[in-house]
Amino acid sequence: MTFVRQVGFQEMMARGERAVEGFPAELVYAGFSLGVVPAQKLAQTRPGARGAHLPRMRTQPAAAVRPHRTRALPRLRQPLRGEHLMRWVEQSPELPLQPVAALVGRDPVLARALDGIRREDGPVVAIATAAEDDALHHLAGHAHERGGLLLGEVFAEGDDVAGCRLVLITQAIPAMESEGTGISLRMGSAVWQQAQSRRGALERVVGWFHSHPGIGAFFSETDRRTQRAFFPHVYSVGWVVDPVYRESAIFLGAESTPPANVLYRVTGAGAMGSDGASRYGAGPTTSMPSTK
């Protein structure tokens, strides 16, 4: 406790949070002694947390401490077999993938938008008009960063996310509980619960959005760490908007790479209009026309 008093309790909590930066989101946090406090906080506030293991520590008065053991501990009567030990298993997330061929009947315009884009060029991102309006409304008029989560559908070739061709963003879920400054943002866990409650049968959390008011649409190093830790899949979208200069940028996956193309203001089930062309261009940073 002397060390804790010297360093400060808040710094000890911050060290616990920094210790898991860069780790996957789906973790069970364990803490012993003073480590119980940051472990419990991470389990309650870090998105994707699966649970916590917080063993209760038994304390005794000094006079009641058991005497030092003088004889050797007995050997285990039965050795532990492999099936009794913890085993880490790489498991792909459960994802309601839809075949690209389904777009032909559902929305031929979106299907045509994929023509001429090779699979190795990466996925296309399409943003529904309602989702775009909800996101921009949440971000506009604030000097501090704001953000939220993105729900959407994933279309792929084959039954593996590696064949992802199109991410259709259908809903933007604003984070109403958040702490932001002009250059940083911390979203509360309630937005994840809200996203799960609004998720449709074919939807899942496909990414996040946030603002850079007055400093441009780009991914900072902190944004890249967030993307790598919480949104590392090939279909994971990171959308950053500068509502002051009306700039927008889209990034994908753990390496925050730009998509092959971005289709804004998709209407209905994905109908773009007569030509299916992107209204804002295909670059990672594009200007945003007025939505008034």
Which CATH number belongs to the domain containing residue 187 in this structure?
Answer: 3.40.140.10
Q: Distance (Å, rounded) from C-alpha 47 to C-alpha 177?
A: 13
269 inside domain = yes
Residues 10 and 143 in one domain: no
Residues 151 and 263 in one domain: yes
Residues 53 and 105 in one domain: no
89 inside domain = no
Residues 6+ apart with CB under 8 A from 229: 21, 22, 23, 24, 25
Residues 6+ apart with CB under 8 A from 183: 145, 215, 220
Q: Please indicate whether residue 74 or residue 179 has the higher confidence score (pLDDT).
A: 179
Residues 192 and 257 in one domain: yes
87 inside domain = no
73 inside domain = no
How many distinct structural domains can be found in the chain?
A: 2
128 inside domain = yes
- Which two tokens mark 221? 């190093």
**% of residues, the chain, pLDDT over 90:** 36
pTM of the model: 0.62
267 inside domain = yes
Overall residue count recorded for the chain in this entry: 292
Residues 165 and 231 in one domain: yes
Query: What is the amino acid identity at position 83?
Result: E
Residues 271 and 143 in one domain: yes
Residues 134 and 271 in one domain: yes
Identify the pLDDT of residue 87.
54
State yes or no: pLDDT of 57 exceeds 60: no
86 inside domain = no
Backbone angles phi, psi at 95, to 5 degrees: -135, 125
Identify the pLDDT of residue 278.
33
Q: How large is the average pLDDT for residues 55-69?
A: 52
- Find the domain containing 141 and state its range: 98-287
What SS3 state is found at 234?
A: coil
State yes or no: pLDDT of 137 exceeds 80: yes
